[in-house]
Chains A and B, each alone.
Chain A
Amino acid sequence: MVKRARLPGALLIDQKQPITFTFEGKTYQGYAGDTIASALAGAGQWVLSRSFKYHRPRGILTMAGQDSNTLVQLLGMPNVLADKTLITDGLQVEAQNYTGSLMNDKEAEISKVARFLPVGFYYRAFFRPKGIRNRIWEPIIRAKAGLGKVDTRHRGGYYDKAYGHYDVVVAGGGLAGMSAAISAAQHGASVLLVDENPILGGAMNYARADIKGKRLRARCAQLRQTIAESANITVMTDTVCNAWYVDHWLAVIKGCRLHKVRAKQFILAAGSLEQPAIFHNNDLPGVMMGSAAQRLMNLYGILPGKNAVVLTGNDDGYGVALELREAGAQVQIIEMRDLALAQATLHDGCVAAGLRIHYGSAIYAAKADRNMHHINGVEFGKIAGKGTIAKEHQQISCDLICMSVGYTPTYQLALQAGGKLGYDDDTAIFSIENLPKGFHLAGSLNGVFATDDVQADGQRAAAQALDGLEITHSLAADFLPVMVQVNHPWPIFEHPDDKNFVDFDEDLMVKDIRNAVKEGYNELELVKRFSTVGMGPSQGRHAALNAARLVAEATDRQVRDVGVTTARPPFSRETLGVMGGRVFSPERLTPMHHRHAELGGHAMRVGAWWRPGHYGVGVDRVAEINSEVRNVRENVGLIDVSTLGGLEILGADAAQFLNRVYTFAYLKQPIGRARYLLMTNEAGTVIDDGVACRMAEDRFYITATSSGVDRVCRQMLWLNAQWHMDINIINVTAAYGGMNLAGPNARKVLQKLVSDEVDISAEGFPYMGLREFQVAGIPAIVFRVGFVGELGYEIHVPATAAEYVWDQVLAVGQEFGIQPFGLETQRVLRLEKGHFIVGQDTDAMSTAEEINMTWAITQKKPFFIGKRSIELRNRALSKRKKVGFRLPSGITSMPQESNLVLKNNKMTGFISSVWLSPTLNAVIGFAYCAREDAQIGNHITIKCDDGTLHQAEIISPHFYDPDNARQKL
C-alpha cells in the first residue's frame, strides 16, 4: 500500500480517518473527505485514464469535476468523476478506455498513426460503399469507443423527487453567491443557495488575493457564519443546479434526489472555469490548471509537484506560485506578458520571495518520459509574435506545469436561458448578455474579479432580485468595478509535432480545428459537427474559448461573432436514475378497491385507475376469466364500474345541449328512461359513448368512458363557454360508486335488496328503464343496460356507501350463484355480445358508418357536433370497414389484438378485439378489413405474431343473442 504524508491544514480531509480502496486492483489509502483523484494523487498515482482517440495517459486537469480526464468506472456505475466522488472503505475503482492495462495501454500505439486519422475521419470515412458503416465500421467503432461499461445486472438505488419554492435561488456558493444570498435574505427574501462543492466558499477556499493568503479565508469564515445564522437561507452543498427552464424552473440535483425548484428570481454566481494554454503535450499528467494545483494543496493537502513551472498570463498564477513555494516546491514562472504589464500584488510578492520569472515567454513543449506517464520538463522561449516562439529555447526539468492563462464564465445556465455571449478583444473574455427577466449574474462570470468588487457585485445582484420581488432596499443598484485583466488573448502555440490539444475529451489539436475550417466548415456549429469539438463529456468547458479564437482567426472574424455552440440542459452529467426516479403520477382507487384485493382481484392499471382484471388464485388467467364469463351467462355476476365517467347536466337547456353534443335525439327522451350516447368530434370521428339518464325535465345524469370523461367534460365546458346555454355541467365521477349486476338471476338478487313497493318486474322496470330507489337502504340511481348482453342493472350509489352496497349485493346473491367479475371478463362478455369499446375498437379515423353505428345518428336534427363532416365522409366512404370474424376453436396459434389483416400480402386492416369465446366455443373478434371484402361469408387473412396465417370467416358481429332476448328479460 502506498502512503505519503499530506500538507497540514487541508480543508476537506480528516487525516485521522484513513480509508482503504482499490484502483485497478491495487490497494490505496486515502482519508475521509478525499476524492478518488485526490487519494490517488496523494499516493503518487497520476494517470487516471486514457484519452478517447489516441489513448494518451491523462490525469488531473481541473480538480473541479469539469473535465473528462478523471472519468472512472465503479461497480455498476460507469463514467464517474474521480475528482468529485468521495472514496469509501472497500471502494473498487477501475480506469476506462484501455486495452491491457491503464499504465500499458496497447492501443496507445494509435497515437503514432494519428496522421492517418485526420479530423472529420469518423464523419466521412465510413459512408461508402453504402451499408459499410453499419456492417463493418460500427461494431469496431463501438468496441473502441471507450468510456465506461454499463452493468445491466446492476439494480441501482432509490431515486426520488422533491419540490422547492423560493423567492431567490442563488447557484454558486462562492464570494459573490454568498454575498447575494445574505443581502437578499437580510431583506426578508427566502433564499436557496446551491453549491456543488462540499463546503461553501468557492475559490475563497483555495485561491489567494493577498501575499499572505489569509484574506479570503477570513472573509469566507465570516460569511459562512452569517449564512449559518440566517433563518431564511437554505443551503444545499454537494448539489448542482443542472438546468434552467422558463420562469426559473430549476433542476437541482443532490445525490439521488431531483429537486424541482421554482424561483421568483435567479442569481447565477457559478464563477469561472480556468482555461488551458495550448502547447505540445499540454494534455499529459502533470500539466494542470493553476486552480487545480491550489485545490489539491488547500483542500486535500497534496503537493502536486516538487519542481513546478507556472505558466501565467495573469496575477492569479503568482498566487499559485506562492502557494507551491510555501508548500515546499521549487517554482519558476513563465510569464507571457512583459514586466510592465505583470506588475501587481501577487507578482510583486513573488519578486520579493525571489522566485525566478521568465517574462514575455511561453511554453513550446512539455517533455515526458517515453511512456508519457508524467511530464518531466518544459521547453520554452521568448514570445516572438502572436502564437509564435523565438527559435532559441530553454529547458527546465520539472514535474508540474500549472496553467494560469485565463477563464471563461460558467455561462451554461445563462445560455440555456437564452443569454448571448459577447467577447471583448481587449479583455479577451466572454461576457453574457440578453438574459430573461429575473435572471441576474454576480461575480466573476459577470466579469468582476477583484475581491471587494465580487462581494459588491453579489449585493448588486441581490438588489436587482429584490427589485424584481418589489421589496424595498437600500442596496446599491450599480457600481463601477475595477478592471482586472485575467485572460491572455492568445495562449496558443503550435508545434511541428502537434499534440497541442484544444479539446482534451475528443483529442482535437490545433490543426484539426484549422483543417475543419479549411474543409469549408466556417461556422462554429459546423466545425463542431465535423470535428466533434465540444461534444465530449465536458461539453467544451475547456475547448470552447480556444476553438472560438481559432475559428475566428481562420475565418477572419471577431470571436464574439463566432460565439460558442448552443448550450442545452443538462449542465453536467445526469444519471438515468435521476430522470427516471419515482414519479408522482396520480392513482385512483374505486370505493370498493379493498374488497377486490380481499376477493383475489388481479389489479390492472387503466389510465389512473386500478381495477380488477379478474379474480382468482391466478394459476390460469384465461380459465379464470372464462369461468367468470360462464357464471354471468348462467347465474349472475357483479362488476365494479365506479370508474365510469359520471356527469350531471342541469338546467332548462339540458336536453337541447345533449342534442348538440351527441349524435342521437334527446329532446323527447322521457323521464325515467336511459338512452345511448354517441359522441363524434368536428371531423366526424367517434370519440366517446355512454348512457343518458333523464332524471327530470331539466336534469340528466350521463355516463362517459372511464378514460374519456375528463376530455368530454372539458369539451362540454368549452362548447358552452361559447354557446352560453342555460346549463351547468358537473363532473360527478368521484361522487358515485357504481356496480353492474348482470346475469339471468340479477332480478332475484336485486329483489332481495329493495322494498316491496319498488316494482322491478320486466314490465315495471323494463330494459333501458331508469329508476331511483333505495338499494340495501341506500338511495340509488338504477338503470337497465345490456353491455354484457344479459339482464342487467347498473346501480350507482353515493361513493361513501358503495362498498356497503357491494357487500350487500354479494351477500344476498350467494344463493343465486353470484360471483364478482373483472374488467377483462367484461371485455369478453361485451365482445360476445358485439359491443365495441371506444379507443379499443376505434381509432382517430373511425366513423360511425365504419363501425356499423349509423343507427345512433339521427339525421333529423338540424345540428350536432360532427354532422357536417359525417355528411361529407358519407359521400366518399373510407376504404375500410369493421367486421366480426370467427375462427375454429381448435387453432394452435391464437391471434392477438393489433395483428394484421392481409390481402395479397398487403395490410388492409387489423384486429381490434379477439378472444376464444367460452360461450360460443369459437375464436371471435372484431377487425378492420378492406371495405370490398367486408361481406358476411367472405374470408379475410389474419397474420399471427408467429407468422401463422389464418383464414377467418366474416360473420355478424352480434355473436351472442343477436335478438337481444336475454338483456330484455
Chain B
Amino acid sequence: MFIIDCPWCGARDQSEFSTHGEAHIVRPEDPETVDDTEWGQYVFYRNNVKGWYRERWMHAFGCRRWFNVLRNTASDAIATTYVPGAPRPSLPEDT
C-alpha cells in the first residue's frame, strides 16, 4: 500500500484509489475508418513495462476524480501525479 498524492485532495493511502491501466491511450478519431487490426490495438493492447509507467488512477473513495500517475512498476515509487490534459512529465533520470 503506497501513498498517492491526489492532485485535488493531497496525499492519501492507496486503498482510497482505483487504478485503470495505462494512460494516454488515444481513441481513434473516427473508429469507422480504421481497420480491424488498428482498432484491436486500441481496445486490447497495452504496454506492460517494468519501470516508469504513466497510468490512470481515480480517487474512488475521495473526490472521485481521475488523474494520471507516473509510477515505477518495479519499485512503486511515484515520481509525480498530474491532472488530465496537463503536459506529460518527463521520465525521472534514473531510468
B13 touches A262 (CB 8 A): yes
A682-B43, A868-B32, A872-B36 known; A717+B65 contact, CB < 8 A: yes
Cβ-defined contact, A867 with B18, below 8 A: no
The interface residues of chain A lying within 8 Å CB-to-CB of B75 are 246, 418, 436
Within 8 A of B (CB), among A229-288: 245-247, 249, 262
Q: How far is the CB of B22 from chain A (nearest CB, A)?
A: 13
CB <8 Å contact, B1 and A869: no
Number of B interface residues in the complex (CB < 8 A): 23
Is A722 engaged at the interface, CB distance under 8 Å to the other chain? Answer: yes
Shortest beta-carbon distance from B54 to chain A in Å: 15
Contact assessment for A718 and B66 in the assembled complex, using a CB-CB cutoff below 8 Å: yes
Q: Which of A245, A418, A867, A869 contacts B43 (CB 8 A)?
A: A869
- Find chain B residues with CB under 8 A from A107 CB: none
Smallest Cβ-Cβ distance to B40: which chain A residue: A872
Q: CB-CB contacts of A331-349 with B at 8 A, as 1s and 0s?
A: 0000000000000000000
Q: State whether B2 touches A247 (Cβ < 8 A).
A: yes
Tell me if A595 is interfacial: C-beta within 8 Å of chain B. no
Contacts of A868 in B (CB 8 A): 31-32, 39
Q: A867 with B1: in contact, given A246-B76, A717-B65 (CB under 8 Å)?
A: no
Residues of A within 8 A of B31 (CB): 863, 867-868
By secondary structure, the B interface counts as mixed
Q: Are A683 and B43 in contact (CB under 8 A)?
A: yes
> Which of A249, A418, A683, A713 lies in contact with B1, CB distance below 8 A?
A249
Q: A246-B75, A262-B13 are in contact. Are A717 and B43 (CB under 8 A)?
A: no
- Say if the beta carbon of B64 comes within 8 Å of chain A: yes
Nearest A residue to B42 via CB reads: A682
> Residue of B at shortest CB range from A720?
B66
Select the residue from A245, A247, A436, A710 with max chain B CB neighbours within 10 A.
Answer: A247
Number of interface residues of A (CB under 8 A): 21
Interchain CA distance A867-B32 in the complex, whole Å? 9
| B83 → A minimal CB distance (Å) | 9
Identify A717's interface contact among B1, B13, B58, CB under 8 A.
B58
Q: Is the CB of B39 within 8 A of A717?
A: no
Contact partners of B32 in chain A: CB under 8 A? 868
Chain B: minimal CB distance from A535 (Å): 25
What 0/1 readout, one digit per residue, does chain A (691-734) give for beta carbons within 8 Å of chain B? 00000000000000000001001100110011000000000000
CB atoms of B64 and A717 under 8 A apart: yes
Minimum CB–CB distance for B37 against chain A, Å: 11
Contact at A246–B2, with CB atoms within 8 Å? yes
A721 to B60, alpha carbons, bound, how many Å? 14
Known contacts A249-B1, A868-B31; A718/B76 CB under 8 A? no
Shortest beta-carbon distance, A252 to chain B, in Å?
Answer: 14
Q: A436 to chain B: which residues have CB within 8 Å?
A: 75, 77
Q: Is the CB of B39 within 8 A of A721?
A: no
Q: A246-B2, A868-B39 are in contact. Are A710 and B84 (CB under 8 A)?
A: no
Contacts A717-B58, A717-B66, A867-B31 known; A245 to B1 CB distance under 8 Å? Answer: yes
- In the assembled complex, the CB of A749 is this many whole angstroms from the nearest CB of chain B, namely 38
Interface assignment of B20: CB less than 8 Å from any CB of chain A? yes
Name the A residues within 8 Å of B42 (CB-CB). Answer: 682
Residue in contact with B2 in the complex, picked from A249, A682, A721, A863, CB distance below 8 Å: A249
What sequence of 0s and 1s flags, for each residue 54-82 of chain B, a beta carbon within 8 Å of any chain A beta carbon? 00101010001110000000011100000
A269 CA / B85 CA spacing, docked (Å): 45
Q: Would you give the 0/1 interface string for A659-685, flagging 1 where the beta carbon is closer than 8 Å to chain B?
A: 000000000000000000000001100
Q: A872 with B2: in contact, given A714-B58, A717-B58, A718-B20 (CB under 8 Å)?
A: no
Q: Which residues of B contact A869 (CB under 8 A)?
A: 39, 43
Residues of B within 8 A of A717 (CB): 58, 64-66
Can you list 17 A-B pairs, Cβ within 8 angstroms, ordered by A?
A245-B1, A247-B1, A247-B2, A247-B3, A249-B2, A262-B3, A436-B75, A683-B43, A710-B60, A713-B64, A717-B64, A717-B66, A718-B20, A722-B84, A868-B39, A869-B43, A872-B39
Q: Hey, which bits of chain A sit against chain B, CB under 8 A?
A: 245-247, 249, 262, 418, 436, 682-683, 710, 713-714, 717-718, 721-722, 863, 867-869, 872
Q: Knowing that A249-B1, A717-B58, A872-B39 are A-B contacts, what are 6 other residue pairs whose CB atoms are under 8 Å apart, sorted by A's residue number?
A: A246-B77, A249-B2, A262-B3, A436-B77, A721-B84, A869-B43
